[in-house]
Amino acid sequence: MSASFQAISLSYQTAPIQVRESVAFNEEECRALLRLVQDCIPATDILVLSTCNRMEVYYQAEEDHSTRIIGLIALQKGISDKSMLVSYFKVMAENEEAMLHLFRVSMGLESQVMGDMHMANQVKRAYQHSADMGTAGPFLHRLMHTLFFTSKRVAQETGFRDGSASVSYATVELVRELTTTVCKPSVLVIGLGEIGSDIGRNLCKAAFGSVTVANRTLEKSLAFAEEYPVTVVEWDQLAEQIPLADVVISAVPGLQSFLTKAHLEKTSFLSPKYFIDLSIPRSIEPAIEEIAGVYLYNVDDIRNKASVALEKRKAAIPAVNQLMAEALAEFQGWANEMMVTPVIQEFKAALEQIRQQELKRYVKHLTEEENQRIELITKSIIQKILKLPVLQLKAACQRGEADQLSEGLRSLFNLEAPKEAVGV
């Protein structure tokens, strides 16, 4: 049986935020899960992708191990009832479905904000973890490089990357809507990771009244302030700064509810106070909305607000789909050939062994010139014998019949048992 590329996916499309945050992995946890899957499951080419909106595992195996992998995720996150998670995961057990899904995720076609360019970087980081941990084999290496090349073509040949349609841009659009009646609104951005930094940049470009930033590492805030007109506050000054801002944006994953109702209920708000929590796990306690005048938005509340850019991207989807289809067809051709390469090599080796054995019987008394002629003639005969079976094997790959023909050839010529090879 040939190995199949498979995937499991839990995302904003299948699970509420409470479930997503329960299985959100940081980079260290992703690496630990890679090792756990590698040690516990007979699979290769393993990739773990965890973002604020999705938790996915890709792997290559002869059987469906989705339930076992979900069990490992539950084990690592301390979830006692793995059955609670199973219904939220979409299982993709077929090559084409799993590969296309990975491409669509990387291109941003599956993002809450269509075309979100952060996804490509997150997929690259996930692949780097696989490469570093030794869980990426020839199949995944080739697939990922095909994906990156296709992403580059999408940027160069379509309008799908045009405009500023991203989570950070949509957040800025929401801030703009919330503060339409506020003269020179003040915004506090907590956390200067990839998303937080993008939001800070977009707020500055939009010329909001004032932008204040805070990061656990002060040096990062100061470096940001050297490029953009923002005010920097230290982390331990947040309690004083939050009441002064009209909008507070938190993008600090890993700090579960560092801002709680207890922190805020001592403060009396004379005007509406808006909080936007982009963290998974959430960093702002949902109960703060029980305080009068306080409104909370999370990642599920961020809608496609960059309408013009999004319309352009939607119009480019057919072109993106065509580029992905071309790339996957080319990759599938390579993968098909890799599947029959071992049996071709075995067949070639068997014929070469026969040729060598027969030559030893008859060339002992021939001259050097005669030996060279016979060498050329017999090698040419071997090549002609190989040509038709090789063509037939490659054609069988396209028809999905390579397994049967390969096994028939092995049985007919008593070839060696198949070695571990790239499967499809």
Backbone angles phi, psi at 65, to 5 degrees: -110, 25
Please answer whether residues 167 and 298 qualify as being in contact, where contact means their C-beta atoms are separated by less than 8 angstroms: no
- DSSP single-letter state for residue 59: E
Q: Is 327 helix (H, G, I), strand (E, B) or coil?
A: helix
Using a 10 angstrom Cβ sphere, with 0-12 exposed, 13-18 middle and 19 or more buried, the burial of residue 308 is exposed
Q: Which residues, other chains included, contact 52 with Cβ-Cβ below 8 Å and sequence gap of 6+?
A: 20, 24, 253, 278, 279, 280, 299
**Selected catalytic residue, list 30, 52, 183, 204:** 52
Closest to 53 in 3D by CA, of 304, 300, 305: 300
Other residues' Cβ atoms within 10 Å of the Cβ of residue 15: 22
CB 29: neighbour CB atoms within 10 A? 16
User: Is 52 a catalytic site residue?
Assistant: yes
Rounded distance, CA 415 to CA 391, Å? 19
Q: Are strands 294-298 and 273-277 parallel, antiparallel or unpaired?
A: parallel
Whole-angstrom Cα distance, residue 43 to residue 34?
Answer: 11
**Rounded to an integer, what distance in angstroms lies between the CA atom of residue 169 and that of residue 301?**
14
Cα separation, 325 vs 104, whole angstroms: 11
Buried b (16+ CB within 10 A) or exposed e, 139-165: bbebbbebbeebbebbeeebbbbebbb
Q: H or E stretch including 247? A: strand 247-250
Beta-strand (E) ranges in 124-185?
none
CA torsion 121-124-130-133 (nearest 10°) is -70
> In terms of C-beta density within 10 A (0-12 exposed, 13-18 middle, 19 or more buried), how is residue 391 classed?
exposed
Residue bearing tokens 């503060």: 179
Neighbours of 252 (CB within 10 A): 21
For residue 286, give the DSSP letter.
G
Q: Annotated active-site positions, please?
A: 52
